[in-house]
Amino acid sequence: MSRYDETTLARVALTWLAEPGTRSVYALVTELGPVAALELLLDGAAPYEDLRDSVAARSRAGDARAIAAEALDRGERLGARVVVPGDDEWPGTVEELRKLRLSDARRRVDRETAPPLCFWVRGPWPLAEALDRSVAVVGARAATPYGLHVARQLGYGLADRDWTVVSGGAFGIDAAAHRGALSAGGRTVAVLACGVDRPYPVGNTALFDRIADSGLLVSEWPPAAEPLRPRFLIRNRVIAAGTKGTVLVEAAARSGATQTTRRALALNRPAMVVPGPVTSAMSVGTHEILREEPGARLVTGLAHVLEEVGRIGELAPVPRGPDRPTDVIDDDARAIVEAMPRRGTIGVDDLAARAGLAVRTVLRKMSLLEELALVVRRDDGYALVPPRRAG
């Protein structure tokens, strides 16, 4: 088992000893590093009684280090990698969970919302890059045809605008959002509450296979981990913290589907909610949030979602370093770039209409955009030059 990096192995072992999100474990890791923190726990010297008890209980089931090594072996066999802080692809935004304090945290899952210790990842994209321009689309499993339609449209539209669609892989809204993104030929990430080798629910297996091929399956739990009930709620904090904003499409009254939205609100991320017919039980939860949370934003479609996440991603300079060409262009030019179709060409008249600018303004800006190699002139109009990928 020495062929694995010691700290990675320690992080995996710690996640097995205590559920992800446990504040006391995260605090020990921050203070001592993962290796020393693991030693302390295995020595029965955890500073909190309940942590000592749970570590003791888990340890009776097996040796944490051996089980972690086994998980790493298993992950390697099935092409799942472990991503830990310090890795290039570690998504720094999830560290903001450190600051998360939920005002009404009576349940364990609402108190234990510390950052993840590691991620298991399956799929061809670097995790941090996939999440850099990402929006979560989540909602009820027992969705209505209306909700499924809206989620699929949003998934499609976001992916078509080069946003990653993040969801939880569940039946209903989650699956519709993933499918919409896939049908746009875009990227989608399923954040799971179980091992990435056995994504739940089994009924979505074909969907998970497609996601693993072109997007990412992500989990805090090691391969073979079961989707225990509380894990869905533990997982939701990652969906909220890993994305630029969360859209809730349908939710029953007081349902778990609203929880991700409340996490996003607490993290000060755009928390967007799609309303629905007041006669629909699946919109009761969404309307509740809109009534109760002044920070929640009613959105009716892609344009509203882009407006919200655009504050930090779409319209504002993208935080990828100072030498990105779009950082130096003005609002009009940026509006033109945003209005360009992701695929194919567009004429100047159509482009002006989409950008909401005068044709002469568009013409004036195109040469600058050509110079910056952001657009290219073709026989039948202008086309976008795809951004070079970092990874």
3-state helix, strand, coil in the chain (%, to 5): 50, 10, 40
| Structure tokens belonging to residue 79 | 């092409």
Residues interacting with a copy of itself, by CB under 8 A?
Answer: 146, 149-150, 274-279, 283-284, 287, 290-291, 297-298, 300-301, 304
CB of 276 to a copy of itself, least distance (A): 6
Q: Specify the residue, 226 or 292, whose C-beta has the smaller distance to a copy of itself.
A: 292
The alpha carbon torsion through 150, 151, 157, 159 (nearest 10 deg) reads -170
Q: Specify the residue, 84 or 151, whose C-beta has the smaller distance to a copy of itself.
A: 151
DSSP, res 343 = S
CB of 137 to a copy of itself, least distance (A): 14
Q: Specify the residue, 291 or 388, whose C-beta has the smaller distance to a copy of itself.
A: 291
Q: Specify the residue, 198 or 304, whose C-beta has the smaller distance to a copy of itself.
A: 304
CB of 299 to a copy of itself, least distance (A): 8
CB of 291 to a copy of itself, least distance (A): 5
Helix (H, G, I), strand (E, B) or coil at 248: strand
| Structure tokens belonging to residue 119 | 């991620």
What is the pairing mode between strands 81-83 and 188-192? unpaired
Q: Specify the residue, 210 or 304, whose C-beta has the smaller distance to a copy of itself.
A: 304
CB of 165 to a copy of itself, least distance (A): 18
On the 0-12 / 13-18 / 19+ scale of CB atoms within 10 A, 383 is middle
Q: Specify the residue, 304 or 354, whose C-beta has the smaller distance to a copy of itself.
A: 304
Chain mean position to CA 363: 37
Say how far apart CA 117 and CA 106 lie, in whole Å. Answer: 23
CB of 113 to a copy of itself, least distance (A): 28
- Is the distance from CB of 305 to CB of 243 less than 8 angstroms? no
